[in-house]
Amino acid sequence: MSRAPLRISFFGGGTDYPEYFLEHGGAVLGSAINKYSYVTANTFWSKLFDYKIRVSYSTVELVKKISEIKHPVVREALRLLGIKGDIELHNVADLPAFSGLGSSSTFTVSLLQALHAFKGERISGLQLAYEAIHLERNILKESVGCQDQTFAAVGGFNLIEFVKEDQIFVHRVPITPQRLYELEQYLILFFTNIKRRASVIAESQIKRVKKNKDTLKEMRQMVDIGFKILTTMTPIEEFGLLLHKAWQAKRTLASSVSNPHIDKMYASALEAGAIGGKITGAGGGGFMLLFVPPEKRIAVKRAFADYQEIPISLNAEGASVII
């Protein structure tokens, strides 16, 4: 069984699309979290059955050949690694898909890790990220960035720089355990009750890359500011204020990033005592991350009583084979 972590991106999201970083350079500051996508890959004795491949996720597929598989990522991952049959795959996850935590790419990474293990192969974290990016962007032609695959593959709390799709630099944030604990005490994650496909929102943002160039440049600069806040004696509240500034900038990237429901939620959070926050991922729904002083947590949780809170820890381990 393999597992790969979901992620939270604090700053720089949007600059991880090749449509932007190939010309201007991109970077994100974020962390893998302790919520995972799991994939098991077992040998399947197909001669005992009338099918050769069994794939189980939210549905079950029983097929005789790869071309019959409906799940595009599974189908193309098997082709990419040259596996033709006699395999059973099963996927479960801690959190639902289409929630803004990189779940789709995390599944891709976990699946590829499981398939390599199935073949008896070892692969480095960064090479795993490159392979997932190639599968999603070049083979499946999906409108995705490059941060989700990287966080899922390498894990950790990182500043990640993007030069090319196969030239990514991962810088571990030298944050002390005490500072990390302090940051975690200010973070609360709530589900907005809205599921959406990130690729749809991403497409609208990609079309506006040239128009959003100055805003994206500003968001890239926030990566370095956030890094400095975390690694110096700067009051941690400055991180929350920067999150608020980043969210205001992100909302201008496309009309689909926010909506009246999200705006109302965020306004309620600020009124209850939150310093800042954002919608995770491309926007439009999924999870809302809030930066809340410890003494205001109860008030914010009371204001969000109708929304599911998800406890998280940062700096989670990257993709690995656990069984």
pLDDT value, residue 99:
83
Nearest C-alpha neighbor of 1 from the set 67, 98, 89: 89
Angle separating helix axes 147-154 and 103-118, nearest 10 degrees: 50
Element (H, E) at 167: strand 167-172
- How far is residue 100's CA from residue 285's CA, in Å, rounded to a whole number? 7
Q: Is the pLDDT of residue 287 over 90?
A: yes
Say which amino acid occupies 195. Answer: K
Q: Is the pLDDT of residue 276 over 80?
A: yes
What string of DSSP letters covers 24-80? H-EEEEEEEEEEEEEEEEEE--GGGSS-SEEEESSSEEEESSGGG---HHHHHHHHH
- Partners of residue 160 on adjacent β-strands: 28, 170
Residues labelled catalytic: 148
* Averaged confidence pLDDT in the chain: 95
pLDDT value, residue 152:
98
pTM, entire model = 0.95
pLDDT class of 296 with cuts at 50, 70, 90:
very high
Question: Do 12 and 20 meet the contact criterion of CB atoms below 8 Å apart?
Answer: no
How many other CB atoms are there within 10 angstroms of residue 238's CB atom? 17
Q: Is the pLDDT of residue 323 over 90?
A: no
pLDDT class of 48 with cuts at 50, 70, 90:
very high
Alpha helices per DSSP H over the chain = 18-24, 72-80, 103-118, 125-133, 147-154, 177-186, 198-207, 213-231, 237-250, 260-272, 297-303
Phi, psi of 149 (to 5 degrees): -65, -35
pLDDT class of 283 with cuts at 50, 70, 90:
confident
Each residue's pLDDT tens digit, 57-96: 999 999 999 999 999 999 999 999 999 999 999 999 999 8
Nearest C-alpha neighbor of 145 from the set 209, 190, 211: 209
Each residue's pLDDT tens digit, 98-116: 788 999 999 999 999 999 9
Lowest-confidence segment of 13-22, 62-71, 178-187, 200-209 by average pLDDT: 200-209
Q: Identify the three-state secondary structure at position 2.
A: strand
- How far is residue 8's CA from residue 27's CA, in Å, rounded to a whole number? 14
pLDDT value, residue 199:
67
pLDDT value, residue 197:
67
Say which residue the tokens 């962007």 belong to.
137
Q: Give the residue-averaged pLDDT of 238-248.
A: 98
- How far is residue 251's CA from residue 5's CA, in Å, rounded to a whole number? 26
Question: Do 44 and 11 meet the contact criterion of CB atoms below 8 Å apart?
Answer: no
**Residues in contact with 91: Cβ distance below 8 Å, sequence separation at least 6, in sequence order:** 37, 38, 39, 56, 57, 107, 110, 111
pLDDT value, residue 198:
65
Q: Identify the three-state secondary structure at position 92.
A: strand
Each residue's pLDDT tens digit, 152-195: 999 999 999 999 999 999 999 999 999 999 999 999 999 999 88
pLDDT value, residue 145:
94
pLDDT value, residue 124:
97
Most confident of 15-24, 92-101, 198-207: 15-24
Domains located in the chain, CATH noted: 2-173+316-321 (3.30.230.10), 177-303 (3.30.70.890)
pLDDT value, residue 236:
98
Q: Identify the three-state secondary structure at position 311.
A: coil
Residue with more model confidence, 205 or 297: 297
Length of the chain as a residue count: 323
CA separation, residue 151 to residues 4, 66, 158 (Å): 9, 29, 8
